[in-house]
């Protein structure tokens, strides 16, 4: 996900419409919900001083903005750098920028439409449902690997490997490459931190270059020996007589690999934490397919894996009484929208049996998460198999969240079961 930044300073914001919270302050990123509560009680659409742009915390407003075609993920298709005051690309992040250049998440139509149509069929529900037995097998293999221990970091030992292996195999990469793919991805994701350092930029750029070198070799091999996998499909299919370039294939593969595990890892960890802290008997949460699905949706709502999704105003416009200029950024606070008391009864309560369940954790509109059907299956299997195998699971030490506000996930989650 590209780090969209406000290009020109916004001035004249009334103090009553502003709010301040440092995204790097541990007190904030360990619990952003107190800040969200204050926004819901005051003005859900507000100016976040540290980011320098407007943000929306309300479920209704965020849902509307995700679908509003007056906003987009890219801006240079409707304005020049000079017009926007946008600086030139940084030479030392050239490799990282190349991985983002053709990212499905950052493109607008028609480029977005072309790429999405090409990969969409691999992620439709009826196709990914066929992967359920493989995911069940993986989950049990992971549990077999640590069941004899006294305690384990469930993130490292269980939550992270499963989606990484699944998406790697879907694309056509060997399962044993998953740890390396995870390492590259984690270094690249650091680019989305607030106040990213020069050293982090250099490291993320090197990870991007190494990732692309790896994929170039795989792509060259696939051109010689096609297989029944998504990578071969991307290389050989055409849209309107055109085929994807290697750069487009690499960008898409990297996005699918990064996004294909990042949110699922965080939701698994956050969800296990939420379930264990709730005191609810897990047996009741996974008593049927319907209740298992409802539990997953509540985990997605209650402690979302992605908390901010930004978009550019594509023209001068008004939204929720705010006058915006072309190029202005608005932050859609997905984690806050999911806890909006105007939409959910007892919004801050974890309730897998609620009748008003919904969430915006996968987004909406043209950028709705293409991997949502796969992620839901992975989460349903991960939770149900984990608590079936380890019914006495409990938290062994106080969990802490990573210092990456956008991607809300735990550093580790130490659990025991004996």
pLDDT digits over 165-177, tens only? 999 999 999 999 9
- Domain count of the fold of the chain: 1
In angstroms, the Cα distances linking 64 to 60, 72, 190, 320, 365 are 6, 13, 29, 11, 9
- Answer yes or no: is 314 within a domain: no
What is the secondary structure of 246-308 as a DSSP string? HHHHHHHHHHHHHHHHHHHHHHHHHHHHHHHHHT--HHHHTSSHHHHHHHHHHHHHHT-SB-E
- Answer yes or no: is 9 within a domain: no
- Answer yes or no: is 23 within a domain: no
| Per-residue pLDDT tens over the stretch 182-208 | 899 989 988 888 888 999 999 999 999
Which among 116, 113, 62 is positioned nearest to 334, based on CA atoms? 62
Q: Is the pTM of this model over 0.85?
A: yes
- Answer yes or no: is 262 within a domain: yes
**Band (12; pLDDT cuts 50, 70, 90):** confident
- Answer yes or no: is 297 within a domain: yes
High-pLDDT (> 90) share of the chain, %: 74
**Band (239; pLDDT cuts 50, 70, 90):** low
- Answer yes or no: is 250 within a domain: yes
**Band (262; pLDDT cuts 50, 70, 90):** confident
| Per-residue pLDDT tens over the stretch 331-389 | 999 999 999 999 999 999 999 999 999 999 999 999 999 999 999 999 999 999 999 99
The DSSP code for 236 is H
- Answer yes or no: is 39 within a domain: no
**Per-residue tokens: 288:** 């049927």
Which among 235, 211, 212 is positioned nearest to 222, based on CA atoms? 235
Q: What is the pLDDT of residue 111?
A: 86
Q: Which domain holds residue 380?
A: 91-303+339-416
User: Does residue 1 have a pLDDT over 60?
Assistant: no
Mean predicted confidence (pLDDT) in 208-226: 94
| Per-residue pLDDT tens over the stretch 391-411 | 999 999 999 999 989 899 999
Mean predicted confidence (pLDDT) in 56-66: 97
Q: How many helices (H) and strands (E) does the chain have?
A: 18, 15
Rounded Cα distance, 347 and 338, in Å? 8
User: Does residue 5 have a pLDDT over 80?
Assistant: no
Which among 356, 409, 354, 418 is positioned nearest to 390, based on CA atoms? 418
What is the maximum alpha-carbon separation in the chain?
A: 63
CATH of residue 189's domain is: 1.10.630.10
- Answer yes or no: is 176 within a domain: yes
Pairing of strands 322-324, 317-319: antiparallel
């Amino acid at each position: 996900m590209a780090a969209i930044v406000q290009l020109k300073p916004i001035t004249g914001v009334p103090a009553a419409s502003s709010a301040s919270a440092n995204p790097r302050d541990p007190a904030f990123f360990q619990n952003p919900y107190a800040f969200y509560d204050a926004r819901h009680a005051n003005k859900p659409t507000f100016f976040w001083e540290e980011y320098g742009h407007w943000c929306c915390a309300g479920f209704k407003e965020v849902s509307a903005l995700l679908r509003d075609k007056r906003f987009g993920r890219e801006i240079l298709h409707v304005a020049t750098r000079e017009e926007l005051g946008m600086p030139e690309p940084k030479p030392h992040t050239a490799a990282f920028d190349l991985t983002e250049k053709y990212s499905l998440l950052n493109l607008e139509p028609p480029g977005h439409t072309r790429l999405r149509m090409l990969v969409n069929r691999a992620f439709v529900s009826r196709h990914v449902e066929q992967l359920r037995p493989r995911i069940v097998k993986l989950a049990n293999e992971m549990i077999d690997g640590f069941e004899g221990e006294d305690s384990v970091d469930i993130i490292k030992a269980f939550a992270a490997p499963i989606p990484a292996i699944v998406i790697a195999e879907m694309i056509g990469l060997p399962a044993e490459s998953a740890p390396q793919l995870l390492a590259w991805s984690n270094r690249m994701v650091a680019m989305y931190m607030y106040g990213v350092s020069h050293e982090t930029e250099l490291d993320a750029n090197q990870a991007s270059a190494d990732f692309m070198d790896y994929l170039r070799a795989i792509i060259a091999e696939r051109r010689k020996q096609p297989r029944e996998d998504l990578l071969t499909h991307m290389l050989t299919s055409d849209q309107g007589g055109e085929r994807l370039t290697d750069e487009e294939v690499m960008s898409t593969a990297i996005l699918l690999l990064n996004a294909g595990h990042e949110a699922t890892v965080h939701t698994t960890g956050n969800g296990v934490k939420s379930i264990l802290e709730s005191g609810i008997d897990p047996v009741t949460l996974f008593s049927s397919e319907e209740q298992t699905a409802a539990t997953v949706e509540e985990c997605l709502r209650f402690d979302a894996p992605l908390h901010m999704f930004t978009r550019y105003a594509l023209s001068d416009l008004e939204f929720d009484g705010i006058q915006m200029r072309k190029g202005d950024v608005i932050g859609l606070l997905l984690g806050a929208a999911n806890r909006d008391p105007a939409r959910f009864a007892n919004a801050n309560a974890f309730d897998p049996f609620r009748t008003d369940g919904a969430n915006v954790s996968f987004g909406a509109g043209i950028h709705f998460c293409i991997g949502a059907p796969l992620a839901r299956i992975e989460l349903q299997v991960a939770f149900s198999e984990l608590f079936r195998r380890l019914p006495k699971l409990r938290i062994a030490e106080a969990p802490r969240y990573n210092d990456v506000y956008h991607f809300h996930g735990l550093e580790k989650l130490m659990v025991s079961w004996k």
